[in-house]
Amino acid sequence: MKTPSQKSRFFNVFSKRKSNDNSSTYVMETTHEDLLQFYTSLVTNDPEIVFVFSRQGELYAASREKMEAFFGTEITSTNDFRKFTSPETLKQLKISFINALKGITNQVDITVRNKQLEELPLTLSFVPIKEGDRITSVYVKVSSNIEKHMLEYQYIFDHLTSGIWMRESMDGPFIYTSKGLEEILCLPTKTLYLNDNAWFELINEEYINSINQAKTRVVAGEKVQEIYSITCLNGQKKWLLEQIIPRFNQSGDVTNVFGLVLDITREIEMEQELLYLAQYDALTGLPNQAKMRKTLGQFTKNKEPFAVLHIDIDRFHIINNSLGYTIGNEALKILAQKLKNMTPSDGEIARMGNNSFMILAHNHANKNNILKLAEDILKNIRQPFTIQEFELSVTTSIGISFYPEEALDERTLLEKAHNALQEAKKKGKNNYQLSSHVASISTFKQYILERDMRKAIIEKQFAVFYQPQVDPRKGLLTGARAFIRWNHPDWGLVMPEEFISLAEENHLINPITDWLLEKVLQSMQVWQSEQIPLKPITIIIPVLRLLKKGFYDSVSNLLERYEINPALLRFEISQSMFLHEEIIISESIERFKQLGIRIVVDDFGKGYSSLDYIRKIRPNILKVDKIFVQNLFEENSIDDVIIKSTIHLAKSLGMEVVAEGVETVEQLEFLKQIECDSVQGYIFSKPAKESTFKAILKTGYVIPKSKYNKAVTVERRRYYRYRFPYPILGFLTIVEFNGHAVTVGKSPVLIENISLGGMKILSNLKLPVNQDMKFNVTFDIMNEHFEIAGELRWWEEKSADVFGYGIRFNMKTNIENRLASNINKLSGYERKSENIPNMTFVYKEPHKYFRELKK
């Protein structure tokens, strides 16, 4: 005990005299008997721990046995409490001590750590002690607050939705259960107290073993957490998460067991629902595409023959557009059930897309069983059915591929079935096709593009090209049309007509349109900052983007951000738009016109032409479709009359006219004479890269070409090359793509010349010139058939829709000898000026021939 140099009169009353050897209680040695009796009673006989501190916070009196038994150490001043409390709690104690020195009796509830490092709730009462009018010391009484805290905890526990329980041992009776546990188990707490096994009896059998193992681990001193299900007495099934924590004494024995129980039924059901939705289609209940791919992998691992049937409901969008999605969804449910009923018992079916399904069927006997299944599906789907008051009748197209003879991997099997489906649609729908007879290079390319489009959007694989629009009389630049191109890693530069329709079908046209618009405005801002005179840029806006909410605000914000005058922006819309939501489109167009953007109507005079929509929206510019321009001067052509009438109509209504597809001097002269405002076409420039168009912007004019030809890559010829008097018909197919063998149908090509080293062909397909794609070309010369492997070495753009390619041959010696003999014969006929017998010549202009193929 410390002895300060200056003590109060109160301290002089006490001394450190012991009544016996075992006592360490402070007692009075003066003759103030009443005071002695009072303080001796306080310090020695109070069941609680009592301290008496001087004004300086030093200990005057305490029951040392009780103090050391509780705290495990001696306390000599108020500062010693820092050993058992936090800094915040010590601050509370000092405030209470200071208040007592001011004469204020007060209490403070704190939590301290005893010598077993247990946290215990205490209440400390601070009482000032006076001698006369002066406060000489502070009396502190320490009381346990455990009962109060237990009552508070019990109140909290009883109002929690989770369940709380406590036992003396893992298999002992319950000594406490909360109200929340009663609600979770649907058992009264009384039942749990009377029968501690009542809860265990609710646990479903498959979890009994794991629960018993958990109990054993708790007895061994582990904390455990278990998820299991119970069935309540009312039949309700629930999922519980239970955490069990043992409590130990100083000897390390488990003295109590505590548990926390949560009802996680909703979470488990949601997880199961999400798992279901991840594998099953919410509308039809069939497995979805993700699950089908896993199933397909299992089928291939089994190494047993099977067939893939890719099924597509023909023209299903008509039902959605005309009758609404409610009826459309009901129709899909009925059709899905029909297909499910027809799926073999050992087969699988899935919904792969909106109106697309897939069936895997084991090929137990022969392929005829699969073909019979396809025929039955066609017949069954064709049967009419009724929804509400509507009788519906649909057809379906089916593409079929076979494992293992056509492919060993899942990807190729799906590609072949998809290609077969496309061929079935191409042949008029309502039929099935086998992959060995399907597809063309065009449909194969469409499949690859559709597969890769989302990746292209994420990676921004696009570029903007600009085709100048020119005053035909002066050659002055009047504007440009912006075209988007796709830099595909395998197919090279892909034209918009090859992927825009796919983007619309897959609801990806909106982000593509937004990218194009912002990219154009970014470039215009750069040109403007470089003081290059700007000209109006035309951008085509698809109907889906125009109908999407927020498009107007987006355009307005972009114009403001890039500081571009709205008058320098033109929106080109197709007249076919007005088949969709005519009123909404008209209102949307009017808002853009008021903003200052000029409206161009594309393809005027073609397809669904109507003067009514011209009257309703009053566009600023009419665009004459290239089909009319390209048919000028043809025999019996009335296209010149149509173009003249269009220009007269536009001028009368105060509109401008732009003619597209102008490629020849004759076409240009005609349009100049009838005072067409602007022309767009290869006669001036094909769609050019941004850097090229920027140079055109700087000059402000374009000189027309008297003849359109692209420079051909220099070819070092080792062999004599024979040029046919007219192109002959041949067929091109892809046999290898990115190192993988593929089966693709043949596409017609026109062969202009041939040698032992290669040939030149014309095609309406835009093909990549690289080493990762290998081709076969087939053709006949004087009734002798040839099929030769080769690679594309160069290309040239003959016109807007015809491309020339150079093919280098990779052929065997016997084929080379046959071809050499035929080339010699052809040269002989040429020298003698004789007609070549048994040849399939094509006498039409290439662009007309390929245009007719599309019809």
What DSSP letter does each residue of 232-259 carry, written as one string?
Answer: -TTS-EEEEEEEEEEEE-TTS-EEEEEE
Residue, of 651 and 516, whose pLDDT is higher: 516
CA 15 from centre of chain:
84
Q: Two tokens at 774?
A: 């290998």
Q: What percent of the chain has pLDDT over 90?
A: 35
Q: Taking residues 24-36, what's their average pLDDT?
A: 42
Per the listing, tokens 């290669």 go with 758
Taking CA atoms, 469 is separated from 106, 476, 481, 693, in Å, by: 92, 9, 7, 11
Amino acid at 50: V
Taking CA atoms, 37 is separated from 45, 60, 253, 277, in Å, by: 11, 16, 45, 82
Taking CA atoms, 374 is separated from 360, 361, 369, 379, 632, in Å, by: 12, 11, 9, 9, 48
Is the separation of the CB atoms in 527 and 697 below 8 Å?
Answer: yes
Sort residue 193 into left (φ over 0), alpha (ψ -120 to 50) or beta. alpha
Q: Two tokens at 684?
A: 């001036």
Residue, of 273 and 794, whose pLDDT is higher: 794
pLDDT digit string (tens) for 290-309?
889 888 988 988 888 899 99
For 646-657, b/e burial (b = at least 16 CB within 10 A) is bbebbeeeebbb
Going by pLDDT thresholds of 50, 70 and 90, the confidence category of residue 584 is low
CB-based contacts of 590: which residues, under 8 Å, 6+ apart?
Answer: 617
- Dist. CA 522–CA 220, nearest whole Å: 70
Number of other CB atoms surrounding residue 674 within 10 Å:
15
464: pLDDT strictly greater than 90 = yes
The three-class DSSP label of residue 72 is coil
Q: Taking residues 725-738, what's their average pLDDT?
A: 90
Going by pLDDT thresholds of 50, 70 and 90, the confidence category of residue 818 is very high
Taking CA atoms, 531 is separated from 526, 528, 769, in Å, by: 9, 5, 39
How high is the pLDDT of residue 696?
94
Tell me which H or E stretch contains 528: helix 509-529
Q: Would you say the C-alpha torsion 768, 772, 778, 784 has a positive or negative sign?
A: positive
Indicate the Cα dihedral angle 518, 523, 524, 526, nearest 10°. Answer: 130
Is the separation of the CB atoms in 551 and 509 below 8 Å?
Answer: no
Pairing of strands 106-113, 59-62: unpaired
Q: Two tokens at 272?
A: 């199961």
Round the average pLDDT of the chain to a whole number and report it.
83
555: pLDDT strictly greater than 90 = yes
Residue, of 526 and 315, whose pLDDT is higher: 526
How high is the pLDDT of residue 711?
45
The three-class DSSP label of residue 617 is helix
pLDDT digit string (tens) for 162-198?
888 888 888 888 888 888 888 899 888 888 888 878 8
Amino acid at 585: I
pLDDT digit string (tens) for 674-723?
989 999 999 999 999 999 999 999 999 999 886 444 444 444 557 789 99
Taking CA atoms, 351 is separated from 283, 320, 372, 504, in Å, by: 10, 18, 21, 21
Going by pLDDT thresholds of 50, 70 and 90, the confidence category of residue 13 is very low
Q: Two tokens at 744?
A: 């693709």
Look up the pTM and report it.
Answer: 0.53
Sort residue 144 into left (φ over 0), alpha (ψ -120 to 50) or beta. beta
- Dist. CA 35–CA 514, nearest whole Å: 94
535: pLDDT strictly greater than 80 = yes
